[in-house]
Chains A and B, each alone.
Chain A
Amino acid sequence: MKKSLLWVIVLILSISIIASFSFTGCKKAEVVEEEAPAAEEPAAEEPAKEAEVTTLEVWSFVQPFLDHYEKMAGFWNEENPDRQIELKPTLLEWGPMHDKLAIVLQSGEGVPDIVDIEIGKWPNFMTGEVPFVDLTPYAKDYIDDIVESRLEIYSKNGKVYGAPTHVGATVMYYNVDLIEPAGIDYTTLITWDDFENALRTYKEATGKYMTYAETYGAYQFTYLLTQQGKDLIDEEGMPNLDTPEALKAVSLIQKWVKEDIVGFIPTGNADTAEGKAAVAAGDIAALGYPFWYMSRLVDEMPNLSGKIAIAPLPVFEVGQPRSVGLGGTGTVAYANGEHADLAAEFIVYAKLSPEGNRYMWTDLGYDPVNKSIWGERDLTHDEGNKFIQYFINNPFDVLMEIEDEIMCVKTMQNSGIINDYLSANTFNRIYVNLEDPATVLAETQRDLMNEAKPAE
């Protein structure tokens, strides 16, 4: 009796599951039917030309990037009726996407035509024979307008393999709603000494920490380093971490931790799900992050609208460069793909042309790499723009202020392992375990030299 009841339940459940599949299947079929005539329409208008629609497979780990490509593909099809494209977008998680890409490149099977590669993973794909198209010939119309350092990071031996997404200029985001009641005026925080006093004031006033020590990822470390004119790697791309400048950078943060005026953020990084939740909840009142974090704020933390101000980073000494381009995504075209040419042309159109860059700003809130549009005031001061509405001050004013101070970090063959090692070991040991910074940096350098590969 019991058993038969069970079987009935199983039967019902399986029928409902099958039904739901066939239902979704039906829906799918309908969508295809709806789309099909739409794709044929241009062909109907121009019967002379064959509507040969090329399908390009695109992988990304960020949905808005895919949305951007779709939008640009629409414009592309308007401008190039004879070379219609259709995108087959695929969204994968950051980690698995890069892993899968490495795997399919090994086998040459199932490689997408266009892929977004995050800068942290970029060096992994630059060893050996680079399997991507050199974009230089396709981009010659725009290349002079592009921020040069952003092209450099996606280049190898003078060939540009990836189209940059943004400048990634690092700025300081202040939650004015939180710091003002504590008596802090963010415009007066010019040096790290000023900032340190503010940390103290904030802790005393609220009992909370104004900012955090970054233990996963190396943005904080990198901007402290580049302000002093140093990089994580030397000219040959080998690790360069036992320098006095590096020591100064980590010692500063460690000092704050010891004094109990900075805290930590869940997962050690502000760009993870947990980290963003902490920012949204007001656990962090000052956040040193690249320009593109604006999109995270606007899209995912609507509750902070009208509370955030953007300012240049403090520096050790006045006169030091106040920003550095961090993060990024290079978009590549697979060289052995069937439509490599078309893919490369489309990437350039979508990401380097002024048209593409305008949408990079209006839709994604990124600091566009094509400088030719930075001066378009109706674009950069458009009151209807959601990014401009969100912040207390105008983001582009800050960007223009630091325009000539945006440093560049080199991304070379060892950048990936350096980042992994720093995130896993160095910062945890110095900031969490409070070990002696000089010793830890020396050990870091030693271990990384063992792992590092010399330039090819």
Chain B
Amino acid sequence: MKPGNQHTSKLNYNPVARVAMVIFFVVLCTIIMLPFVSMILTSFKPSDQLMRDGFNLSFSRDIMTLENYKALFTNATYFRWYANSIIITIIQVVLSLFVSAWVGYGFAFYQFKGKNFLFVCVMIIMMVPFEILMLPLYIQINSLGLVNSIWGIILPYLAYAMAIFFFVQYLKGIPKDIVDAGRVDGCSEYGIFLRLILPIMKPALAAMAILIGVFSWNNYLWPLLVLSDPAKFTLPIGLNSLVSPYGNNYQLLVAGSVMSVIPLLILFLCAQEHFIEGMTSGSVKG
């Protein structure tokens, strides 16, 4: 890791401050990790303990069991949810990134009539909770015949306002000369975007890929409304259906929850460096 522009010079750091800060973060991160630890521990305990004792940190060798995971890995439904979630997330990330970058480029590199107005619209969408409009939006999706299809889930988020905003901020930092050079070389307006700009945007795309990926993987309410066929359910909907008081599925619930974190964790660990870099370069500019 290369040193960023950290502000205190190397010579005058304070060892006491360093120790204090490290201790502070160790404690903080321990607390942050507690829910995970208790979740993972519980996933190895017999399921009837869950409702009685909740999640806790106690563990003894004798009661720890792999039964929950055995049940999970022999459960085809769970992996169907898993597959559905992965498919939806991948499609949504790829499409949303491309469309949002496309729009963001339009805002960042052109002057046109109505630009300011439209950009204010972007900001308004960013600010108005989507959930307010879920009922009419559902009716809308229904009249478009998109109920029970993954397009019904993805379309409303295709031009993702937050990503557009982010890309505009990022592209502000890129000199206009590139575009002019492209024009001189005979690229079309769209060719410039595809061949010159998109490759430059890589860090920003990585950062947004994580954010959109997290959003899509974890989205609950909207897919719940759109999907009615349980075979198409995503992981969050499926997991929540396991809390039902009418069936004894708790052994799947906790183990399934633990497993559900893994894909994003991998994505994050892979894109981590790009992520911070991208966030930094795309961060809001005054």
Residues of chain A whose beta carbon lies under 8 Å from any beta carbon of chain B: 6-7, 9-10, 13, 17, 20-21, 24, 27-28, 61-63, 90-94, 96, 99-100, 103-104, 106-107, 109-110, 271-274, 276-278, 280-281, 300
Contact = CB atoms under 8 A, between A and B. Distances in A.
Given A21-B79, A24-B76, A274 B247 contact: no
B228 A100 contact: yes
User: Which of the listed residues A90, A103, A104 has the most CB atoms from chain B within 10 Å of its own CB?
Assistant: A103
Given A92-B230, A96-B224, A107-B142, A276 B266 contact: no
A20 B224 CA distance: 26
Contact of B228 (A9, A94, A104, A271): A104
A6 B147 contact: no
A192 B243 CA distance: 36
Contacts of B147: 104, 107, 109-110
Instruction: Please classify how large the interface on chain B is, using the bins under 10, 10 to 19, 20 to 34, 35 or more.
Output: 20 to 34
Given A61-B244, A273-B51, 19 more contacts: A6-B269, A7-B270, A20-B73, A21-B83, A24-B76, A27-B76, A28-B76, A61-B246, A91-B241, A91-B244, A99-B224, A100-B224, A104-B147, A107-B142, A107-B147, A109-B147, A110-B229, A276-B51, A280-B48
B261 interface: no
Contacts of A63: 246-247
B270 A276 contact: no
Interface string B262-284: 10001001100000000000000
Contacts of B266: 9-10, 13
A101 to B, nearest CB: 9
A451 B229 CA distance: 33
B240 A96 contact: yes
Interface of B: 48, 51-52, 73, 76, 79-80, 82-83, 86, 138-139, 142, 147-148, 224-225, 228-230, 237, 240-241, 243-248, 250, 262, 266, 269-270
A61 B270 CA distance: 40
A272 B80 CA distance: 27
Contacts of A9: 266
27 contacts: A7-B270, A10-B266, A13-B266, A20-B79, A21-B83, A24-B76, A28-B76, A61-B244, A62-B246, A91-B244, A91-B247, A94-B245, A96-B224, A96-B237, A100-B224, A100-B228, A103-B138, A103-B225, A106-B139, A107-B142, A107-B147, A109-B148, A110-B148, A273-B51, A273-B243, A273-B250, A276-B51
A110 B240 CA distance: 21
User: Which of the listed residues A13, A24, A104, A109 has the most CB atoms from chain B within 10 Å of its own CB?
Assistant: A24
A271 B246 CA distance: 9
Contacts of A94: 244-246
Contacts of B237: 96
Contacts of A109: 142, 147-148, 228
A63 B266 CA distance: 35
A121 B121 CA distance: 40
Contacts of B139: 106-107
B226 to A, nearest CB: 9
A61 B79 CA distance: 21
A135 B163 CA distance: 53
Contacts of B138: 103
A104 B138 CA distance: 10
Contacts of A92: 230, 241
Nearest to A271: B245
A93 B244 contact: yes
User: Which of the listed residues B48, B51, B262, B269 has the most CB atoms from chain A within 10 Å of its own CB?
Assistant: B51
A401 B140 CA distance: 56
A30 to B, nearest CB: 11
A90 B244 CA distance: 14
A54 B86 CA distance: 33
A92 B248 CA distance: 13
A300 B248 contact: yes
B80 A24 contact: yes
Nearest to B246: A62
A317 to B, nearest CB: 35
B241 A6 contact: no
Would you list the 9 A-B pairs with minimal beta carbon distance, nearest first? A277-B51, A93-B244, A277-B52, A107-B142, A24-B76, A93-B241, A110-B228, A273-B51, A62-B246
A62 B225 CA distance: 21
B248 A10 contact: no
A28 B250 CA distance: 24
Contact of A272 (B142, B230, B245, B247): B245
Nearest to B145: A109
A10 B263 CA distance: 9
A1 B80 CA distance: 34
A103 to B, nearest CB: 6
A9 B247 CA distance: 36
Nearest to B138: A103
A17 B82 CA distance: 9
A273 B245 contact: yes
A110 B138 CA distance: 14
A90 B269 contact: no
Contacts of A103: 138, 225, 228
Contacts of A277: 48, 51-52
A202 B17 CA distance: 60
Nearest to A103: B225
A24 B84 CA distance: 14
B150 to A, nearest CB: 15
Contact of A276 (B82, B245, B262): B245
A260 to B, nearest CB: 24
Contact of B79 (A24, A276, A280): A24
A91 B233 CA distance: 12
B230 A90 contact: yes
A24 B83 CA distance: 11
Contacts of B76: 24, 27-28
A106 B248 CA distance: 31
A92 B241 CA distance: 6
A278 to B, nearest CB: 8
Contacts of B86: 17
Contacts of B240: 93, 96
Contacts of B245: 94, 271-273, 276
Contacts of B79: 20-21, 24
B52 A281 contact: yes
B103 to A, nearest CB: 30
Contacts of B241: 91-93, 96
A419 B51 CA distance: 25
A310 to B, nearest CB: 22
B166 to A, nearest CB: 25
